[in-house]
Chain A
Amino acid sequence: MLQRLREDKALQGLLLIAPTLLWMIVLLIIPLILTLVVSFGRRAPDGGVIFTFTLDNYIRLLGLQPDCLNPFACFDPLYVSILFRSLSLAFNTTVIVILLAYPLAYFIARAPHERRNTFLFLVLVPLWTNFVIRVYAWMMLLRTQGAINGVLGWLAGLLGIPFTPLEMLYTPGAVLVGMVYEFLPFMILPIYTSLEKIDPSLYEAAADLGANALKTFWRVTLPLSLPGVVAGTILVFVPVMGTFVVSDLLGGKQVILVGNLIQRQFLDARDPTFGSAASLVLMVLTLIVTLFYTRKFGFGKEIVV
C-alpha cells in the first residue's frame, strides 16, 4: 500500500486535495444544490418549503407578478433597485478603496526594506478585532451624540457658532465609509505584493530612456501592478456585494442591500424559497461582473496574489 502511494502520482494528488475537497462538497456544493432546489419551490404557510418547480420567486425578484399579464402595470422596482443599489455600492466602495490603497501600497513598496514589514503589520492590525465590533466602533463615531459630533460641537462652541449635530449614522454615506474601512487591507496587500515584485531597474530603465516620474508611473509601474489591482478588486467587490452586517448596523432601515434582503427572507419573512432565489441571483450577478472585469483587465493571465 505504502509502496503504491510512493509511485502513484495521481493517488498522491488525490490524497492531498481530499480533505479540502470533502469540505467543499459538504459545505459548498451540497448546500448550493439545495439552494437551487429550494429556489424553485413554494413557501408553505408555516414557513417550510413545498418542493415543486416554479419560477415565481425569480419573477418576483424581477419586480413582476406571476399572474400579471401586463408587465408595465404591475412592475414593482423594489427588488431590482435593491440589486442595483448593491451593485453601485460595491462599485463605489471598490473605486474608493483602490484610490486609497494604491498610494499607500506604493509608499510601503518603496519604503526601506526593514520598515516594510512594520507598515504591513500596521495595515493588518485592525483585522485582529472582530469585524462586527469594528462596525460598532463606527456607530460610536457616527452617532448623533458620537465622537465626531462631539468634537465638532466643541469646536463650534469655542468659535461661538451655533451647531446642530450632523445626521451621519443610518445614511448611505455611513455604509460606504464602513465598507471602505472594512475592506481597505484586502486591497492594500495584493497591490503591495505586485508593486514590490517590480524590478527597481525598470524604473531606472524608464528614466534612462527619457521618461519622467509621471510617465514612468503611467507606462511602467501601473501596468505592471495591475494584476494586484485586479486581485484586490475581486477580494473587495465580491464580499461587499454580499455583506449585510455593515449596512444593517450603519445603514439601519435606510440602506437595504441584497445581503440584508436574503437575511430577512430566511430569518424574518421566513420565506427560504425567495431567499434562495435572491442568493443565486446575487451569486450569478457577482460572477458575471467579476468574469467580465478579469477578462478586460486581467490580460487573460492568471492572477498572482
Chain B
Amino acid sequence: MSVYAVELRDVVKTFHTPEGGTINAVDHVDMQIRHGEFFSMLGSSGCGKTTSLRMIAGFEWPTSGEVFIDGEPQGHKPPFQRKVNTVFQSYALFQHMTVFQNVAFGLEMDKVPPEEIKRRVGEALAMVKLTGLEKRYPRQLSGGQQQRVALARALVKRPKVLLLDEPLGALDLKLRKEMQLELKTLQREVGITFVFVTHDQEEALSMSDRIAVMSYGKVMQVGTPVEIYERPRNKFVADFIGETNLLDGTVRSVDGNSLTVFVPALNAEVRALHQGAFHAGQEVSLSIRPEKIRLVEKPTECANCFPAQVKQVAYIGADTRVIAQVVQAQLRVWEQNMVSTLDPDAYFQQNEQAWALLPPENLLALPVE
C-alpha cells in the first residue's frame, strides 16, 4: 500500500473559452489524500474542485502533471479502468433500471457471479437503508432515496476511493443535515477514502478530516477543519471560511510567535499572533473573528483594548450581532447571549459606548497578497 490513496502532482487542466482564449481550471495543484480519510475540496463555483475530482475519476485528463491512485500513475486511463467510483451531483441513476439493477450494474460489468451480485447488492442496500425497494424505478423514489441508491451503486464496487460531487446539493436543508451525519458514519464504517466536493463550508467543516480550500484553480490551504478556521494561512481563507474582520497594518517588531503591528485604523500598536516569516516594516493584514472580539462596558485589564461605539445591533437568538465603530474601524462583533432574560438592557443598544477587546491570541497576522 502506498502512502497516499490519491495524489495530485503539479496537475494543470486547461480549457478553451468560447472567446478563443484558454483558462487553467486547475492550476498547478498538489494534493495528497491519505488512506481512509474524509477529504473535502471546498470552494465557490469555478474554483476547480469539480474538475479536480473529474480528473481523479478519469472523466478528464490533466493537461500536465499526474494523478496517482494508490500510488499508481493514472495517465490517460479511462474511468472504467480506475479503482474509484463516483456519486454524481445529479445522481445519474439509470431510469430504465430498477434499484436492484442500478446497484448490480457495476458488479455485472466486473462479471461477478449472479449469487454474489445478489448478496452484495442486498448488503449495499441494507447499508443505505433501502432494503425492500429493490424493484422500484428511480422515478418512484424521493430525492433522498435516489441519493442513497447512487451511494449504494458506487459503494457496492468496494472502490479504493469514493468520489462525491456535491452529492447533497439537491436535498432540502433538513435532509441534507441528516445525510451529512449518515455519510460520515458510513465512511467510518466502510473505511473507504472519501473525496467530497462541496461549496458549503459548514458541510465541509462538520464532515471532513481534512479540507482543501480552493480558489481560481489553486489550492489556498489544506488542513483540518480547526486549522482552516482558527489558523488560516492567507486572507482568502480567513475571509472565505466563516466571517472575519481584517485590519491592515505595518509590522513594527517580531518576537517569537507574536508580533507588534501598527494599525492606522486604530491609530495604535497591537499585539498579534503569526505563523509565517514576517519582518519589521512589512505590510500585513490582521484577521479576527467576530465571535472573538469582546465588547465590555469597562475593561478590567487592557491589552489591545479600544473605545467603541455600537452602531447597529441585530438580535438573532443564539447571539447578538453588533457592528461597532472602534476608533476608525468598523468591526463585526458577535456576543453570545449567555443568560436567558427578557430584559433589553442585558443586550447592547445602538449608540451605546463600550470597550472592544481584541485578545492578541485571537488576532492573526496574514501576509498581504
Residues on the B chain within 8 Å of A202, using CB: 92, 94
For residue B57, CB closer than 8 A to chain A, the reply is: yes
Output the nearest chain B residue to A215 by Cβ-Cβ distance.
B109
A295 at interface by CB-CB < 8 Å: no
Q: Cβ of B94 and Cβ of A201 under 8 Å apart? A: no
Interfacial chain B residues near A46, Cβ < 8 Å: none
Q: A201-B88, A219-B105 are in contact. Are A208 and B80 (CB under 8 A)?
A: yes
Interface mask (A193-217 → B, CB under 8 Å = 1, otherwise 0): 0000001011011111111100100
Chain B residues contacting A208 (CB-CB under 8 Å) are 57-59, 79-80, 84-86, 154
For the complex, give the distance between the alpha carbons of A212 and B78 in Å: 9
In the complex, the answer to whether B109 meets A205 with C-beta atoms within 8 Å is: no
Chain B residues in 8 Å Cβ range of A207 = 58-59, 78-80
Whether B157 pairs with A210 at a CB distance below 8 angstroms is yes
Contact A209 B157 (CB under 8 A): yes
| Least CB separation from A200: chain B residue | B92
Could you mark each residue 246-283 of chain B with 1 if its beta carbon is under 8 Å from any beta carbon of chain A, else 0?
A: 00000000000000000000000000000000000000
Out of B57, B88, B94, B109, name the residue touching A210 (CB < 8 Å).
Answer: B109
Q: How many residues of B contact A (CB 8 A)?
A: 24
A299 to B106, CA, bound (A): 24
Q: Which of B65-83 contact A (CB under 8 A)?
A: 78-80
CA of A209 to CA of B110, assembled, Å: 9
In angstroms, how far is the closest chain B Cβ from the Cβ of A172?
38
How many residue pairs between the two chains, A and B, have CB atoms under 8 Å in the bound complex?
62
Contacts of B93 in A (CB 8 A): 205
A224 within 8 A of B: yes
Q: Is there a chain A Cβ closer than 8 Å to B337's Cβ?
A: no
A76 to chain B minimum Cβ distance, whole angstroms, is 48
**Which 10 A-B residue pairings sit nearest by Cβ, starting from the closest?**
A210-B109, A209-B106, A205-B92, A201-B92, A207-B79, A210-B80, A208-B86, A223-B96, A208-B79, A207-B80
Binding site for B on A (CB under 8 A): 199, 201-202, 204-212, 215, 219-220, 223-224, 299
25 A-B contact pairs sorted by A residue (CB < 8 Å): A199-B92, A201-B88, A201-B89, A204-B86, A204-B92, A205-B86, A205-B92, A206-B94, A207-B59, A207-B79, A208-B57, A208-B59, A208-B79, A208-B80, A208-B85, A209-B85, A209-B106, A209-B157, A210-B109, A210-B110, A211-B105, A212-B78, A215-B109, A223-B96, A224-B94
